[in-house]
Amino acid sequence: MPRAKSSTATTTTAVTAAQGSRRRATGRVTLSDVAQAAGVSPITVSRALRGERAVDAALVERVQAAATKLGYVPDPAARALASQRSSHVAVLIPMLSNALFVDVLEAVQRTLRPAGFQTLIGVTHYDEGEEEQLLREQLMHRPAGLIVTGLDHSPGTRQLVAQSRVPCVHLMDLPAASTPQAAALHCVGFSQREAGAALTRHLLAQGRRRIAFAGAQLDPRTLQRLEGWRAVLQQAGLHSPTLEWLNPAPSSLALGGQMFEQIMGQHPPIDAIFFCNDDLAQGALLAALRLRIKVPQRVAIAGFNDLTGADQMSPPLTTVRTPRAQIGEAAARMLLQLMRGETPALAQVDLGFEVVRRGSS
Amino acid sequence: MPRAKSSTATTTTAVTAAQGSRRRATGRVTLSDVAQAAGVSPITVSRALRGERAVDAALVERVQAAATKLGYVPDPAARALASQRSSHVAVLIPMLSNALFVDVLEAVQRTLRPAGFQTLIGVTHYDEGEEEQLLREQLMHRPAGLIVTGLDHSPGTRQLVAQSRVPCVHLMDLPAASTPQAAALHCVGFSQREAGAALTRHLLAQGRRRIAFAGAQLDPRTLQRLEGWRAVLQQAGLHSPTLEWLNPAPSSLALGGQMFEQIMGQHPPIDAIFFCNDDLAQGALLAALRLRIKVPQRVAIAGFNDLTGADQMSPPLTTVRTPRAQIGEAAARMLLQLMRGETPALAQVDLGFEVVRRGSS
DNA sequence: CTGAAAGCGCTTACAG
DNA sequence: CTGAAAGCGCTTACAG
């Protein structure tokens, strides 16, 4: 019952208000409105609607009916203020122009949304400083969870994550060593190093001997593939630093074409090129067409990630298929568990990879 | 001064607390802490920090110094609850796998972030129902602004936007007719119809007479390009329904290849194909290589949007360059104005397009 | 130009 | 299993 501080002027209003549920200035339907309609206290409504157990089943039903009837919609801001936790999940990825991360994101969103979480996307542009700054901003919003790409971050970023105590899952990578602190990390990915090694072994098995590695962006995962390549070639006694072609510019079709042209000018001649990402490799394949260089006869070409178009090229591109959608989904599921306070069966999930042999090698 | 309900046991604590600023249970530095440190009231701190005028310059400085010293970070949830408005901007786009929208988004984020707004991305998958559902969820969060793709939406979506009274800017399109309600819309784009017509005129000018239109996804903007193409061909007396190849599946390289193969089987032969998006056209170019069909000798090929790789193809792809980054930025700027309560000089901004002639036509 | 009061709409302990 | 009280951290009128 509203206690109108009744001057005579306000009496009518007070009576009207007393008839229906009490209306706020904002006109919003609130928890109290639902409580009044259902004949229970607001806190019971809160519990019933959130599916908290320890509420009588009959009451839950009555409350839900009232909520539906009034068209009640919870206010996330009020919820966040009271509970010190929002329904946002912050996701940090390097670049949206790399189709890889679009697929990851799609899977993450598809998993998180039905559970009632909004995704807040931060694009770091492969820049540790920008990542830290983005994280700082996102943490202000008290996200319920965090998904970040990779395991290599600035000390500031690591500290922010730790201090925030927000559950966090890492994507696309696995810790190399099994140190105690590595074991504490939650992550879903595969061994980039192993994948690089496997593709290199494939090229060796095809009889290639002068296998170049062409890398762009030079982010941590690219460098791990490089390491895998290097280890295999060294073991075969076929490694030489002159086989390493590294360019810090972002990966793109055009850059792939340029690198291909450069590498093909090298003597003694290269007989295979492992590009660290499919867009580079596709660019190389297009350049080969322009330059009338036969692939794989003159040179074998392989890419990484099996992005759109890999199978459309002439010849179709040999590459490594990475389970990015599965990684996104598994990471989101693991995060969901962590946010519920549960402990995932496995803190570190290896989803593997697959060398896909096509015509280019 | 904290009024400790002092049992003897808590006395020490109370004294300690009285020395410093009063600490909340959460340990957060609040507006009140800053106020106390600066020797002013919380509301003055609020005003000073938000840069609201009508605060003495000297005070502003003192407040800012105190805030910095204490490491004060405003709580967005509290802010949103009190002001009924968050610092989120919701952005609705059809698909992240279309590179077009990645560029738009990048520009939007780059413009909005420095102004203190977080972007909430919703991917509609070109589905009106999903768009409406996403909008409903995002509106729960009381965004300060809204950016949506295109002008065609379900009645429910339109109503939600109108009822919410949240400032809204539309992307990528312009209203066709100048009805009063069209004039009330805020939008930044270009005429899809005109762009379709211009590209068709280009093909006609090259002497092509049997110009097919190959469209996928069949979203509103694709259909507008189709209309532009149709109008030009009809005027030239060269239109026939059999020239229209429409497929509702999502646009992709692979689909472009398939469509190309189908279209090339048609009699009498087609001498040019206008693909509604570059990925289709690129797929067609790749298929032409496989099938050894000469482009542009046997058939001219044109795309739309000038996406990555268009200039890398053999032959390079003729297409329409669309100013998507500029559109994203201009839309974000316009929204910024609207959110400040200002009226943009122009409610509808036409950023144009450009036919880029390359080797494929 | 500055402040005291009230309130935004929810949830967290604490009782019973 | 249910509820009354207090509080989350800010801003919106309303005064002066």
pLDDT tens track for A150-206: 999 999 999 999 888 899 999 999 998 777 778 889 999 999 999 999 999 999 999
For residue B316, say if its preceding peptide bond is cis, omega within 30 degrees of 0. Answer: no
Dist. CA A92–CA B29, nearest whole Å:
26
- Write down the pLDDT at residue B108: 98
Q: Is A289 in Cβ contact with B254 (below 8 Å)?
A: no
Dist. CA A208–CA A271, nearest whole Å:
6
3-state helix, strand and coil shares in percent for chain B, rounded to the nearest 5: 50, 15, 40
pLDDT surpasses 90 at B268: yes
Token representation of residue A327: 């990684």
Task: Report the residue of chain A nearest B119, measured CA to CA.
Answer: A120
**Best CA proximity match to A332, nearest among A152, A134, A151, A171:** A171
Task: Compute chain B's Rg from CA coordinates.
Answer: 28
Token representation of residue A253: 């079709």
- Write down the pLDDT at residue B27: 73
Q: Is A26 in Cβ contact with B84 (below 8 Å)?
A: yes
Contacts of B20 (CB under 8 A, 6+ apart): none
Sorting pLDDT into bands at 50, 70 and 90, what band is B25?
low
Q: Which protein residues have a C-beta closer than 7 A to any atom of strand D?
A: A 40-41, 43-44, 47, 53-56, 59, 78, 81-82, 84; B 24-26, 28, 30-32, 42-43, 46, 49-50, 72-75, 78-79, 81-83
Q: Which amino acid is at A162?
A: A
Chain B contacts of A84, Cβ < 8 Å?
26
DSSP element (H, E) containing A168: strand A168-171
Of A78, A141, A279, which is closest to B76 when you measure between CB atoms? A141
Q: How far apart are the first and last CA of chain A?
A: 79
Chain B contacts of A73, Cβ < 8 Å?
140
Residue B360's beta-bridge partner residues?
A: none
The number of CA neighbours under 13 Å toward the Cβ of A72 is 23
Task: Compute chain A's Rg from CA coordinates.
Answer: 28
- Identify the segments of chain A with pLDDT beneath 70: 1-26, 53
pLDDT surpasses 90 at B17: no
pLDDT tens for each residue of B198-224: 999 999 999 999 999 999 999 999 999
Task: Report the residue of chain A nearest B279, measured CA to CA.
Answer: A309
**Best CA proximity match to A300, nearest among A204, A217, A232:** A204
Query: Once rounded to an integer, what is the mean pLDDT over residues B292-312?
Result: 97
Token representation of residue B32: 């009140």
Give the B window 308-327 contacts with A, CB below 8 Å: 308-309, 311-314
Query: Once rounded to an integer, what is the mean pLDDT over residues B32-39?
Result: 89
Query: Once rounded to an integer, what is the mean pLDDT over residues B317-344?
Result: 95
Query: Which nucleotides in chain C lie closer than 7 A to a protein CB?
Result: 1-5, 7-13
User: Judging by beta carbons within 10 Å of its beta carbon (0-12, 13-18, 19+), is residue A177 exposed, middle or buried?
Assistant: exposed
User: Judging by beta carbons within 10 Å of its beta carbon (0-12, 13-18, 19+), is residue A338 exposed, middle or buried?
Assistant: buried
Under 8 Å between Cβ of A279 and A251: yes
- Write down the pLDDT at residue B176: 83
Dist. CA B93–CA B171, nearest whole Å:
9
Under 8 Å between Cβ of A56 and A118: no
Under 8 Å between Cβ of A75 and A31: no
